Structure 1
Amino acid sequence: MTMKTIQLLRVAHLRGPNIWTYRPVIEAWLDIGDLEDYPSNTLPGFYERLTAWLPGLAVHRCGVGEPGGFLARLREGTWAGHILEHVVLELQNLAGMQTGFGKTRQTSVRGIYKMAFRTRQEQVGRAALNEGLDLVHAAIHDTAFDLPAAVLRLRELVDVHCLGPSTAHIVEAATERGIPHSRLTDGNLVQLGHGAHQRRIWTAETDHTSAIAEEIAGDKDLTKNLLRSAGVPVPEGQVVQTAAEAWEAAEDIGLPVVVKPYNGNHGRGVSLDLTTREDIEAAVVVAQRQGGNRVIVERYVPGNEHRLLVVGTQVVAVARGETAWVTGDGVADVLGLVNQQINTDPRRGATEEFPLNVVKPHESAEIILELERQGLTAYSVPAAGARVLIQRNGNVAFDVTDQVHPSVAATAALAARVVGLDIAGVDMVLEDAARPMDQQRGAVVEVNASPGLLAHLKPASGQPRPIGQAIMAHMFAPGDTGRIKLVGITGQTHTTLIARLVSWMLYIQSQKVGLACRDGFYLGVRRVDARDGAHWDAGQNLLMNRSLEVAVFEHTPQGILSDGLAYDKCTVGVVTDVGDFAALSNFYIDSADKLYNVMRTQVDVILPHGTAVLNAADPQVAEMAPLCDGQVIFYAADPTVQALAAHQTAGGQVVFLQDGHLALAHGLTSSARLPLDTLPAWPDDKLDVVLAAAAAAWALGMTPELIGAGLRTFQIPSQ
């Protein structure tokens, strides 16, 4: 009897670049047991059951390189680990978290596989792995599996744990610019860039969004007074606290009027076009429920509501609102008509994925009041052909950016500037956004901090607007990626000492440097934590430090295999040696080729304008040179080492020892020489430390004179 099951031996989240890919992945070690003897084509009905549950597998390319590639492999016969990989990817896609990368590789132990798959969020990825395991087992054994319930569970995790769509859009725009990002909380607070060059966003707020400006925007009466003083057209209004005061104010202002919360935003609790005392008093109750006792009564401006998104000094997107109506049939009540004629629109939904909200006439206080003004409730049955106004505002999702007159855009930009917001949602009532302001009755009715972006990213009609790109252009100058210089040092010999020496040379040049190595965590020369710092968390602490201009990281093969690198890209990557794989057998690293793939990770992440510093005396390290997207500096004690000599002959940079000197040569014609007798007395078995550190410093742009000063003043640790 066979069990035909997959066991999870180990599941790890590799949070940085790793042996599989540049992006975070979940790595699972699988024991497929006797399924090693049962590829997919030997399991009766498996193909049919799996593809019936997951028809989206049809577009998976797999190794064939075209849609349908995975299904071809499935029909021909492939193994359980590979199948689980694709099932997990498809479950994440169904849950709304798009992913496409996965790999599965057999280890040297029969039945044991390593599987890696891309995930944008760890908890969701782990849950998808568990759901996928159950699904594959059900398909193998022809048992029940509730796919809709599984996808719903994953969707709920996506909603809880993943970035919101607006923040995700901004982060994607940052990625397109080559700007790295780190999520600082479980919410939408995100760091863009590193160290002293970093910026931060919180959805549509930046670290330059003024708290004072936010307070002003939240005070509608103060906002209006400031706008009026700057010449921005605003409706006349008064602040009141009681229904009687509201009616008195309305009489002073002149009917019709608008009643809205004093501290409200985004149109919540707003009642429009009020003409009777009864309606005004009812609207006061609605507004007070939303924003407290104080409410604003102001002149009603006829026209359509428009939301203009201002980023910096520019209007980058504009959406128009539309009123919502239903037509009676003499049979259905208002609630039924709304569900039939409005909520069936596929653009409406309860989540942020939808540009329009579901309309609930029996729950919304504003709609209930609007119906009462027409003598109706949500359960009234309008006569056949009778039109019923359901909602005057709240449907601001129809893109009109290209139609907006420059004077309208200038008014919105001025309003944002007066309030002091660098990103603002300016609500304007306009008869026609395409007409000049002086030719229509238009006014600014609200200025909002942290404006919603979804109406511009997924409009109900019209084209989506590149909001993320506009925000990146506002936050970062052209060509600025928010990066500081990062140095990564990988190998199994003297890497800690090299990291400390490189950090010292940077420090004595008055650079604000941080170091994470096995000796601890350093800021400048001060060790702030004596615990082993050669791991992902310590590296992240460096990247978050707003004072640092450069950071140095030591990496071990164990750290790369356990967590990945702490950064996405680096300026300088040093590889000292490949070393022995014996200590990594618990990772199923049992050959020189497998260890090579671990160590090359450091070279894979070097920026195009960066440099790989490679030990030419180690043939495997020298072989990594073509993998580097940037420049290469070879170092070796012996200048006749083949890789170094060939590189120098070709005009490359090399560092070596010759005639009692440390030589830094650029090709055959240009070189600098530092007398070894002027340097501290390094043991012969550690001279490679001096070579590697000097080469890394040279790659960072230090002159030979400064390199010499750094080497002379470094205190060699006692044995």
Structure 2
Amino acid sequence: MKTQQVELLPTLTKEAVNDVTGYQLCGYLIALEGWRRGLELKWYRDESSLCKLHRMFSSTHGKFYSLSNGDTLHYFYRSRGDKVANKSVTICLDKEKTKSFLEQGNVPVPKGKTLETDESIIDYANEIGYPVIIKPLKGSMGKGVYTNIDNEAELTAVLKELRNSYSYSQYIVEKHYDGKEYRVYVVGDKVIGATNRIPANVVGDGINTIEKLIELKNNERKKNPYLATKPIEVDYEVNSMLKSVGYTVDSIPAKDEQVFLREKSNLSTGGDPIEATDELTDEVKQIAVDALKALPSLPHAGLDIIVNPEDNRKGVVLEINGTAEIGFHLFPLEGKAKDVPGAIMDYYFPETIGKEKSNFYFDYLCMLEPLKKYAVDEMKVIRTPAINMYAKKYTVTGKVNQVGYLGFIKRQALKNDLFGHAKKINKNTVEVYLIGEEKEVLDTFKKTVEKGNKKSSVENVEEQDLVYTNEPRKTGFQVITKTNRR
């Protein structure tokens, strides 16, 4: 498969978000940004009475948190902060209401109507002319959305599938608009990131079947923190799409032939997120900003927009998501990551703008365990490590492996508020790497290293002062064996 060119934020490595997926990724990314700026971070148990934010019938576990600078406290649910009104979130859940607000704000939207019966849907589609789009009035994540429907027969088949697969009663029928579709994230008066979402597709190599190419692409998606839980699944739409071009999943496309598997571009159903902020004209960016202003108290959100292929200064807004996912802006399949969490923190805590940040990250999933088990109501993350730290390495030889020495060093390091690791080098050698705010504590720790625990026997200790670099690293102290990776 073709390797895509991706430029991630240097302070947000894949290790920093290891095993964090789905909606939890949104909350974690913003919480981490605030915590790195020195803000106090707390996470709350599921269904906490403190959560006044519209959670859209979803669990709050791992998604509800607060950030405070000591004077100001803000609550967040996923990517949404408490400056976003619940009223606007509710409006965004209803595409027809959203469209009404946008029209009142002179924001361009597609021509369409909400209908219930198959007969009325078909009649209206024939009235406005094909191609058309059909989508549930109160749907999300691209479920039940079909685009570029070319004729009445195709629409009839789609309606049959919708009635068999979903329980939605009302659907929006809209005129289909050609052009690139973008998911745009706006904070205040500025577009922070824009992603061109390309429908699920595979590129032929002249050897493998489409089914195998899908498998290979899904393996690649698993390597992307955002896309890992969003594989391409072969369903009615995929089979129908392939049939329309004379293919099945057993077909073998020619080398470099791109085969589209869906019309809709939702990332949750296999679409590709390509960073494309610089593609948008100032006029289209202003449309995005104006769209948020058309709703009451919606200072930051994501929205979908299609740009006119004949005039890139024009576009239509399809919908707005008040609790939009942001992970793909940080982990695109191609392009340069956009710092949406940074922009949101700038908006809520402007006094932290330009402040030098720690690049440590915390063990998010481990921290959530007590909350998940209802052992506690809230969890406060440890104080943000200082920016300027000291580092030291001790290389220890002797009887120091498989005698409890590594665990002993970890316990003592944690007691002294030190970060780092104790790593097995070989049968008789251990590396102790320490980071701390006070150089004296690191220096005196040598006595602990030399003494060891009861079963160990230290023969020699080599000491080395290191230059501390503020690179991304995990809080706490890790024990590393040959089978572990740092």
Q: CA deviation at 1:199?
A: 0.6
Among 389, 394, 406, the residue aligned to 2:260: 389
Aligned to 1:455: 328
Count how many residue pairs are aligned between Structure 1 and Structure 2: 342
Q: CA deviation at 1:271?
A: 1.3
Among 274, 280, 285, the residue aligned to 2:149: 274
The reply on whether 1:409 has 2:285 as its aligned counterpart is yes
Q: 1:330-409 to 2 correspondence within 5 Å?
A: 333-339=209-215, 342-343=217-218, 346=220, 348-349=221-222, 352-354=225-227, 357-360=230-233, 362-363=234-235, 365-374=236-245, 377-379=248-250, 381=251, 388-392=259-263, 393-394=265-266, 395-409=271-285
The reply on whether 1:430 has 2:307 as its aligned counterpart is yes
Among 122, 138, 143, the residue aligned to 1:247: 122
Rounded to whole Å, the distance in 2 between the matches of 1:357 and 1:297 is: 27
Q: Which ranges in structure 1 are unaligned for 5 or more consecutive residues? A: 1-93, 99-119, 121-154, 482-536, 545-564, 570-596, 605-624, 628-719
Rounded to whole Å, the distance in 2 between the matches of 1:371 and 1:163 is: 31
Summarize deviations over 1:197-224 as a string: whole Å, max 9, x none.
2111112111122211111111111111
Summarize deviations over 1:246-303 as a string: whole Å, max 9, x none.
2111011111101111112343332111112222123335556457121111000001
Q: Is the 8 A contact 2:346 2:352 kept in 1?
A: no
Q: CA deviation at 1:465?
A: 0.8
Q: CA deviation at 1:191?
A: 1.0
Aligned to 2:398: none
Among 26, 30, 54, the residue aligned to 1:170: 30
Aligned to 1:220: 95
* Gap change, CA 1:355 and 1:461, over 3 Å in 2: farther
Aligned to 1:559: none
Aligned to 1:470: 343
Rounded to whole Å, the distance in 1 between the matches of 2:353 and 2:83 is: 17
- For the residue of structure 2 that corresponds to 1:321, the secondary structure is strand
* Gap change, CA 1:287 and 1:451, over 3 Å in 2: farther
Q: 1:594-609 to 2 correspondence within 5 Å?
A: none
Q: 1:584-595 to 2 correspondence within 5 Å?
A: none
Rounded to whole Å, the distance in 2 between the matches of 1:465 and 1:329 is: 32
* Gap change, CA 1:187 and 1:434, over 3 Å in 2: farther
Q: Is the 8 A contact 1:355 1:460 kept in 2?
A: no
Q: CA deviation at 1:402?
A: 2.3
* Gap change, CA 1:250 and 1:416, over 3 Å in 2: same
- For the residue of structure 1 that corresponds to 2:138, the secondary structure is coil
Summarize deviations over 1:81-110 as a string: whole Å, max 9, x none.
xxxxxxxxxxxxx9x765xxxxxxxxxxxx
* Gap change, CA 1:201 and 1:334, over 3 Å in 2: same
Considering fraction of residues, name the structure with more helix: 1
Q: CA deviation at 1:324?
A: 4.5
* Gap change, CA 1:245 and 1:369, over 3 Å in 2: farther
- For the residue of structure 2 that corresponds to 1:297, the secondary structure is strand
Q: Is the 8 A contact 2:224 2:333 kept in 1?
A: no
Aligned to 2:423: none
Rounded to whole Å, the distance in 1 between the matches of 2:197 and 2:136 is: 20
Identity rate of aligned residues, in percent? Answer: 22
> Does 1 or 2 have the higher relative contact order (CA < 8 Å, sep 6+)?
2
Partner amino acid, structure 2, of 1:179 = L
Q: Is the 8 A contact 1:355 1:454 kept in 2?
A: no
Among 164, 169, 191, the residue aligned to 1:315: 191
Q: CA deviation at 1:181?
A: 0.7
Among 32, 44, 47, the residue aligned to 1:184: 44
Q: CA deviation at 1:358?
A: 2.6
Q: CA deviation at 1:321?
A: 2.0
Summarize deviations over 1:309-364 as a string: whole Å, max 9, x none.
01233211001122444577898654234335x446x3x1287443794322x23x
Q: Is the 8 A contact 2:20 2:225 kept in 1?
A: no
- For the residue of structure 1 that corresponds to 2:227, the secondary structure is coil
**What is the TM-score when the length of structure 2 is the normalising length?**
0.60
Q: 1:550-699 to 2 correspondence within 5 Å?
A: none
**What is the TM-score when the length of structure 1 is the normalising length?**
0.42
Rounded to whole Å, the distance in 2 between the matches of 1:456 and 1:163 is: 14
Among 445, 451, 457, the residue aligned to 2:318: 445
Q: Is the 8 A contact 1:287 1:295 kept in 2?
A: no
